[in-house]
Amino acid sequence: MQIVSTIKEMCSISEGVRTAGQIIALVPTMGYFHEGHLSLMREGRRRGDVLVVSLFINPAQFGEDEDYASYPRDFSKDKNIAEGIGVDILFVPTVEEMYPEGYQSFVEVETVTKPMEGQFRPTHFRGVTTVVAKLFNIVRPHSAIFGEKDFQQLVVIRRMVEDLNMGVEIIGMPIVRERDGLAMSSRNTYLTFEQRKAALNLNRSLQKASQFFRSGERNPKRIIEAAKEVIEREQDVTIEYVEVRDAKTLEEIEIIREEAVIALAMKVGKVRLIDNLVFRDP
Ligand code: PAF
């Protein structure tokens, strides 16, 4: 596995790979790998002749009061994991490399970034789309693989790629969960033992919503109420949002007819967690 830290070297490798007619798959990450990342890398390995994984904790997507400084980091462990999976290139640029002095260009996707996460993290998606657009320009992948855990992020990136004719195939991969149902996330490491137990209510509430849906309920309001009721059984938990929206556009819906998503965010103590589930007719 090659470790590349400069944009110049990464661009020249991509140029060579493309000229040789080979396919590049990219998995963008912020590191601290868990099984969720590994499932993305395995899919990338399957799709690309050359698999590039980027590891960059992107300051532009963290709000001022968020956890950029304390975001978990373990480069040497990540490096070994990536090597074990068969990653060809681990791209690890510095912040100065990605955002040099004088940097002033950002990519903004409009409507779809406003609800849900957008209400609580108003500058987040601008940071995500900017860094992902930069990574696409540098790595020039044929396909890029993202997790469905960040459901809105996936919808926003698909929108950006279509609107800006980026020509990258976007692949969404299912959420990977711990055995007890908690969606895997690098931020789970912040949870104390007690908080982790409380966090399980996130998935329990989705299961309740899913049960409602399977029994024929198609009214988003009633599904949301049922999900909230489960979360509120825990004390140290604050709901930020529970929403049911169209899975492709994230528009509000009165009744579930097409594929819809229930997405939620809550805080357990100071730890912010998100999760979601897609309602698909059997
Ligand atoms: O999902 C993430 O880890 C990040 O938002 C991403 C896509 C790597 C951009 O920094």
| Distance of alpha carbon 264 from the chain centroid | 14
Q: Report residue 74's pLDDT band, with 50, 70 and 90 as the boundaries.
A: very high
Question: For residue 281, what pLDDT is reported?
Answer: 77
d(CA 23, CA 280): 32
Residue 37 annotated to the active site? yes
Q: What is the mean pLDDT of residues 251-268?
A: 97
Enter the pTM of the model.
0.97
Task: Break the chain into its structural domains and give their ranges.
Answer: 2-173, 186-279
DSSP letter (8 states) at residue 24: E
List ligand 1's pocket residues with C-beta within 6 A: 28-30, 58, 61, 128, 131-132, 150, 153
Domain 186-279 sits in CATH 3.40.50.10310? no
Percentage of the chain surpassing pLDDT 90? 98
CATH class in words for 2-173: alpha beta
Catalytic-labelled residue, pool 34, 37, 124, 142:
37
Ramachandran bin of 195, using left for φ above 0, alpha for ψ from -120 to 50, beta for the remaining angles: alpha
Task: Output the pLDDT for position 73.
Answer: 97
37-43 contacts: CB < 8 A, separation 24 or more?
37/81, 37/147, 38/81, 38/85, 39/147, 39/173, 39/174, 39/176, 40/145, 40/146, 40/147, 40/173, 41/82, 41/85, 41/87, 41/145, 42/85, 43/145, 43/171, 43/173
CA 281 to centroid of ligand 1, rounded, Å:
30
Distance CA 235, CA 233 (A): 7
- Site to probe by mutation for ligand 1, drawn from 95, 123, 153 as the one with most ligand atoms within 8 Å of Cβ, is 153
CA distance to 71, 174, 199, 261, per residue, from 178 (Å): 20, 13, 12, 21
The three-class DSSP label of residue 145 is: strand
Does 249 have pLDDT greater than 90?
yes
Identify which of 26, 27, 29 to mutate to test ligand 1's pocket (most ligand atoms within 8 A of the CB): 29
Q: How close is the Cα of 205 to the center of ligand 1, in Å?
A: 26
Q: How far is CA 281 from CA 101, 149, 260, in A?
A: 51, 20, 10
